Amino acid sequence: MKSAVIVFPGSNCDRDVAVALEKFHIKNQMVWHNETELPKCDLIILPGGFSYGDYLRTGCIASKSRIINAVIKHEKNGGLILGICNGFQILIETGLLPGVLLRNKKLRFLSKNVFLKALNINNHFCLYYKQKKVIELPIAHNEGSYFANSNLLQNLEDNNLIAFKYCDQKGNIISDANPNGSSNNIAGILNNKKNVLGMMPHPERLIDPILSGEDGSLMFKSLFNSPT
């Protein structure tokens, strides 16, 4: 498994993702936003942060950056793409994932650990969450409230494209456990081909027992062991 992390001006989780990839033996290269071609890779990661200062709209300018055509091409060829936090926002703006991400319901930035339920584990990203009833990961965002109209929500639910939903510590998907007001408690979604995952929580921030958990490790383990 080979990966490429796209670095935009204002990305600030690029290093953290690179550290996680290295820890789980995924050979990674950093790619500057001004490039037009990608190195040979199976997986692209769009990291968290504030690409281009979040100006105009989160993820919007990144979706028009020079490298983005290569990212779209990679998806068309069936390559894997993982967008975390700002990366998820970029995927939405690029049109690689449907819906929109609105400001959090309470209109303030929210940084805390949340509980998640993996609803679709039959994909390259989530295989190792099979045994895990409840996942704990940190979120840190201002615009993470996933919104979709009822048709789209139905489509996501019917086709099993919701990867993660916010839940309580026991795994109940209830509105009290929804930190940002996302429709249907959605924390992460897949595209139809299930080669693109966008999610607000940060798996790269929890890959070490000393940081109070390893639930992020499972995603990188899944990716490392997925067939390429």
Residues that bind other proteins in the complex, under the rule CB under 8 A = 9-10, 12-13, 15-16, 19-20, 48-50, 52-55, 106, 108-112, 138, 140, 142, 202, 204-208, 210-211
Task: Round to whole Å and give the CA distance between 48 and 82.
Answer: 11
Would you state the torsion angle of the CA atoms of residues 204, 209, 213, 217, taken in this order, to the nearest 10 degrees? 40
Least distance from C-beta 16 to other proteins, angstroms?
A: 4
Q: Burial, 151: exposed, middle or buried (Cβ in 10 Å; 0-12, 13-18, 19+)?
A: exposed
Please, which residue, 16 or 215, has the CB nearer to other proteins? 16
Please, which residue, 17 or 156, has the CB nearer to other proteins? 17
Least distance from C-beta 119 to other proteins, angstroms?
A: 24
Catalytic annotation, pick one of 13, 41, 85, 167: 85
Instruction: Work out the angle at residue 26's Cα, subtended by the Cα atoms of residues 21 and 27, and round it to the nearest 5 degrees.
Output: 105
DSSP label at residue 38? P
Catalytic annotation, pick one of 33, 74, 141, 202: 202
Centre a 10 Å sphere on the Cβ of residue 132 and count the other Cβ atoms it contains.
16
Instruction: Give me 14's structure tokens.
Output: 């690029």
Please, which residue, 21 or 162, has the CB nearer to other proteins? 21
| 202 belongs to the catalytic site | yes
Least distance from C-beta 114 to other proteins, angstroms?
A: 11
Please, which residue, 90 or 190, has the CB nearer to other proteins? 90
Provide CB contacts within 8 A for 170, sequence distance 6+. Answer: 134
Please, which residue, 31 or 206, has the CB nearer to other proteins? 206
Task: Round to whole Å and give the CA distance between 2 and 134.
Answer: 29
Nearest to 144 by CA among 205, 188, 96: 188
Task: Round to whole Å and give the CA distance between 200 and 37.
Answer: 27
Residues marked active site are found at 85, 202, 204
